[in-house]
Structure 1
Amino acid sequence: MLTLIAYEERLRLSLDLASVIAATTRWLVRAYPAADGATNAALAEAQARQAVTVAAWLRYPTSTDAGLLALAGPGGSFRLDWLADAEPYEINGPDGIWRTYVDEVVASWAAALLTCSTLASQAVAALDDCEHGAGTPGEFRRLTAPDAHDCRAAPLLRHPDLLALVVDLHRPQLVERLRRLHSDDQTPTSAV
């Protein structure tokens, strides 16, 4: 059970990443829209938000990392838009503002999680090593164990071929991050 201080710290860290999570989620659901209907849109957004949240927490696991992101900025969606063949947007227009908060690495990692359930489960398990997400695996069921409704709602968002260009941008770094987190958990059993 989280203590009140641990919960407040987790909430503060999540707020530090809230703009990046919101913008990157928005980019994913606009680039890979849900099936028709309000329920499908809500289910697809929930899946995207869970994937982006896990990716952001793994990418920026400490308050220092989140603080550095706030100083440097996430980079924006320009290259992602080009890869997804999205319509060009006006930098100074209304679309330009939220797109500056999109984090390319987080979007790539989230796309990888959405298209590979094994990777998603490993990523959620690795959250125990982050300041953000200790003890939260149940919060990400739509990501790690999508039901038939989830899959029907987001066929584009979970299609490995459609997301391949975005996934391939930074998947190796995600795999390496998970490998390092997993190996840090291992203790040697013998000196052989």
Structure 2
Amino acid sequence: MLTDLSPLIAATARWLTGAYPPCGGALSSALCEAQARQAVTVAAWLRYPTELDAGLVTLAGPGGAARLDWITGADAAGEDTPQDWAWRTWVDEVVASWAAGLLTDPELAGTAVGALAGGEHTAGPAAEFRRLLDPDDGDRSAAALLRHPDLLAPVADLHRDQLLERLRTGPALAA
């Protein structure tokens, strides 16, 4: 059973940066992607705190981007082949919602990263979340849409209560 969340993280970050694209050129695109990926990684590790949780979601599937597309008005038009849209089945709505909340609320992001301490995902080399926790002017400029609280509110509000509950009870206590 696959216990690596990287397909879910990659797809969910890709969805976020597609729905809330970077402002600028190639450097802005990379900075925006880095911020989305860090937020999604924290959210995924909170949502699926153990290898068993990660294995179960990779077995059952995270659910896809359909509801998120509907909420944001995004569509997959132009993605005509299965290769163009297959990645969208790996998008996790709850993880996207939690990541949106982290991107728009620095205090919540700090609490979430702190909650990861001692978890199975952080047992290896230390993870770096500087672009999420302490974005510089270049980061903010590149991800202006991705960090805009009003624009992300429809997504962030979807599962905000679950995120707050997870942070209150701790990731190891929830499934």
TM-score with structure 2 setting the length: 0.90
Cα distance in 1, alignment partners of residues 80 and 5 from structure 2: 22
- Aligned positions, number: 170
Q: Matches of residues 147-162 of structure 1 in structure 2 within 5 Å? A: 147-162=136-151
Cα distance in 2, alignment partners of residues 171 and 157 from structure 1: 17
Residues 1:39 and 2:30 are matched in the alignment:
no
Residues 1:77 and 2:65 are matched in the alignment:
yes
Deviation of 1:157 after TM superposition, in Å, equals: 0.0
Q: Which ranges in structure 1 are unaligned for 5 or more consecutive residues?
A: 1-11, 185-192
Verify the 8 A CA contact 1:55 1:109 in the aligned structure 2.
yes
Q: Which moved more, 1:135-144 or 1:110-119?
A: 135-144
Residues 1:56 and 2:44 are matched in the alignment:
yes
Letter in 1 for 2:15: W
Verify the 8 A CA contact 1:61 1:131 in the aligned structure 2.
yes
Seq. identity, %: 63
Once the two structures are superposed, residues 13-40 of structure 1 have per-residue CA deviations (whole angstroms, 9 ceiling, x without a partner) of: 5xx1010000000000000000111110
The structure number with the bigger radius of gyration is: 1
Deviation of 1:128 after TM superposition, in Å, equals: 1.1
Letter in 1 for 2:8: V
The alpha-carbon distance between structure 1 residues 156 and 54, as it changes in their structure 2 partners (threshold 3 A), is: same
State the partner residue of 1:87.
75
Q: Matches of residues 35-184 of structure 1 in structure 2 within 5 Å? A: 35-89=23-77, 93-134=82-123, 139-181=128-170
Verify the 8 A CA contact 1:127 1:134 in the aligned structure 2.
no
The secondary structure found in structure 1 opposite 2:120 is coil
* CA RMSD, Structure 1 to Structure 2 (Å): 2.0
Cα distance in 2, alignment partners of residues 125 and 114 from structure 1: 15
Deviation of 1:137 after TM superposition, in Å, equals: 6.7
Letter in 2 for 1:148: D
Residues 1:19 and 2:7 are matched in the alignment:
yes
Q: Which has the higher contact order (CA 8 A, sep 6+)?
A: 2
Q: Which ranges in structure 2 are unaligned for 5 or more consecutive residues?
A: none
The secondary structure found in structure 1 opposite 2:90 is coil
Cα distance in 2, alignment partners of residues 174 and 97 from structure 1: 27
